[in-house]
Amino acid sequence: MADGASTAQADAQPPGAAVVAVVGLGAMGGPIAGHLAAVGLRPLLLDLDQERVQTSAQRGGVPADQAAVAGADVVIVTVPDEQAVRACCLDTGLVAALKPAAVLCIASSVRPEICLEIAAATGVADVLDTALTGGVRGAEAGTVNLLVGGDGDALARARWALEPWTATIHRLGPLGAGQVAKTCNNMLHWAQICAITESLELGRRHGLDIRLLRRALLDSPVASRTLAELEQMRFTWHAKDLANAVAAGAQVGHDLPVARQSRQLMPGISVDYVRELLDHELTPQAYSDYEQVTKYDNG
């Protein structure tokens, strides 16, 4: 399969009686398992939290043990962090037990070297890093943007298990490339939030109605999904994401002053602060004046 983007259309069919397993059924893995079940794939389910397993089973998944998961054709790992990824993939011996031509998809956010370490421990299976963008809302809606690193043929074999919960799939290069791309995505995400809130705060302190200001900015060249959906964001994981970005830059001798500054600023940006900022408005006369100006400018 060529590098680049493709639109996921849920049209790749599993070969024969192929089986998919989801390891980790939290905020991302639970919805992913649900989308797989919704298209009739009945994913195997594995999580330390049995309540999560039962919740996903009620949506059509099948509770399984590690031996059953190791026999799956595609295994999607969505545990929270690097420690959990290493524990479930390496410490348990899962990757060494995978069957020939199986594909292990590391959907958790980890450093590229963790992916390489896991790949080195596999026997006859393939490993892809399938980093997720779009957050919990994307997982719940089945519109994840997937950033993939690894062998193109392995991705082709796994597509049937990825398409039901993704909107787009991008193969960016060899194993680890998806995680590098995710780090680039995360850095841009948090830096945008810092710049947007700082800009809106400037407007507020100069007496602008922030509702009107945001409406105007969304009609300008600086319009972005982040600006449009700011109040829907949860502001989690910024410490880990930005630390990973700074570390990734250091690995290649590239200083990231914006990431470092964002790392300092993000702890002061909360859901409550953003809600209060975006709700700032002036008197009804301000809206009247705005409407008059808009009507005049539009002829």
Per-residue pLDDT of the chain in tens (299 residues, 90 and over written 9): 335 666 655 456 677 789 999 999 999 999 999 999 999 999 999 999 999 999 999 999 999 999 999 999 999 999 999 999 999 999 999 999 999 999 999 999 999 999 999 999 998 899 999 999 998 999 999 999 999 999 999 999 999 999 999 999 999 999 999 999 999 999 999 999 999 999 999 999 999 999 999 999 999 999 999 999 999 998 988 999 999 999 999 999 999 999 999 999 999 999 999 999 999 876 555 555 545 544 545 44
Query: 240 catalytic, yes or no?
Result: no
- Whether the model pTM is above 0.95: no
For the chain, list the domains and their CATH numbers.
Answer: 4-173 (3.40.50.720), 182-297 (1.10.1040.10)
Q: Which two tokens stand for residue 154?
A: 């392995």
Beta strand 103-106 pairing with 144-149: unpaired
User: What is the rounded CA–CA span in Å between residue 109 and residue 242?
Assistant: 12
Cα of first residue to Cα of last residue in the chain, in angstroms, is 52
Measure Cα distances from 203 to 137, 200, 207, 271 in Å: 29, 5, 6, 19
Under 8 Å between Cβ of 227 and 196 = yes
